Structure 1
Amino acid sequence: MKKTLVLSILLCAAFALHAQSLIGQQLKSKESVILYLVEQEKLAHDFYRSLDTIWVTDIFNRVANEEFEHVGKLSAVAAELMINVPNHFNEYPMGQFIDSKLRHLYTELMIAANFSLEDAYRTSANLEERKMYDLKMALKEPNFELENLTYKALLIGSEDNFKVFIRALNEMNSGYTPILMSPSEFEALTKNILSNDAWQSFDSSAKSQNRIGLF
């Protein structure tokens, strides 16, 4: 009970940093939106890659590889729009970011995901929920067709990853309470989750809940 309360507090603190999407609020220019989304994808990559070194399961490695591809896709869109993505976006070490809010978010998510594999899955679902929210806000902005197509593709990817984590939690007989989406949106997205949904072969039991080394 105490652990659950601590986790809840940590997750609320992490997402309080983004109670509303920065897109359309603080991030108004096309350049600032794309650069933020690029670094957000780097955060997701670094987060899942870090979890892959902590928990014995293949799911985090597979998602991390996807996030690396997403960074490349967004960087390609930026290049088409003559927006320069600084080299240090890719050269920064794991867990280091230019945006201060993303730095704080990464730290809070890593702490929350460290309690157990179940908490790691739940925190990962929280992150995918955050990404979906921001991508939907980006799609509301005036965009070129290339941007919209890319954002829609990334949104579908985040939805699929979100469902994988929810399915893993379901198989652990654990629930999930959405933080940013409404209960009706959550139900619509997850009501058809089946045992063979999304990836068909990942081991949701994580080959027991053993931890790799120390956090």
Structure 2
Amino acid sequence: MKQVTSKLFFVLFTVISYNSFSQTANLSSQEIKDMKYMLEEEKVARDVYELLDKKWNLRVFNNIKQSEQRHMDMMENLLNSNKISYQFSDKRGVFYNKELQKLYNDLTEKGLKSKYDALEVGKTIEVTDIYDLEKAKKLTTNSQIKDVYSKLIFASNNHLRAFSRNLSKFQNQ
């Protein structure tokens, strides 16, 4: 009986390991790279909006920073479901990707100048997110990844409209 249990455990372990490996193995290095990048890019948006919300106390930043956290959660779930290891800093404004670190630094510097500049930064972030998500979506055939990217594109378009509405109020004053 002990031998049968051991063999059963071995077979089960092998199947689980194979399924875990095959999920990740079916993804290209580009798909994996894009998912990790999108997680950190969503963090840039959340972190910038948190800072600008504290500085300017505009409702649009408070609402959208919460949405950006959900976007990060979606990307983390996508990475986890595909058994992809990743890292990102828990500290606000700290990024492993040097390009995203520079983006965060530049955007926060501009956004802290005025409310108008802060709203322009929001618009810039959403345009950038949409562009990067659409590019990454074209580079995958995985339906799960495409679905998440589509949802994020839809949300980013809503955010872009919100920032544009708020900017138009400033321009009409």
Task: Report the TM-score when normalising by structure 1.
Answer: 0.65
**Unaligned ranges ≥5, structure 1:** 1-26, 175-204, 206-215
**Unaligned ranges ≥5, structure 2:** 1-27
Residue in structure 2 matched with residue 24 of structure 1 by the alignment: none
Deviations 1:138-177 (A, max 9, x none): 1111231111110000000000000000011111126xxx
Residue in structure 2 matched with residue 37 of structure 1 by the alignment: 38
Residue in structure 1 matched with residue 75 of structure 2 by the alignment: 74
Letter in 2 for 1:144: N
**Contact 2:140/2:146 (8 A) holds in 1:** no
Shift of 1:28: 5.5
**Which one has the largest radius of gyration?**
2
Q: Which structure's residues are more often helix, by fraction? A: 2
Letter in 1 for 2:47: D
Bigger relative CO (Cα 8 Å, ≥ 6 apart): 1
Where do residues 161-176 of structure 1 align in structure 2 (5 Å cutoff)? Answer: 161-173=159-171
Secondary structure of the structure 2 residue equivalent to 1:29 = helix
Q: Which runs of 4+ in 1 moved over 3 A?
A: none
Residue in structure 1 matched with residue 9 of structure 2 by the alignment: none
Deviations 1:104-134 (A, max 9, x none): 1100001111111011001110111000000
Deviations 1:39-73 (A, max 9, x none): 00011110000111100222111111100011110
Figure out how many residues of one structure are paired with residues of the other and give that number. 146
Letter in 2 for 1:62: N
Residue in structure 1 matched with residue 10 of structure 2 by the alignment: none
Task: Report the TM-score when normalising by structure 2.
Answer: 0.80
Identity %: 25
Alpha-carbon distance in structure 1 between the residues aligned to 2:68 and 2:80: 18
Where do residues 107-186 of structure 1 align in structure 2 (5 Å cutoff)? Answer: 107-173=105-171
Letter in 2 for 1:37: M
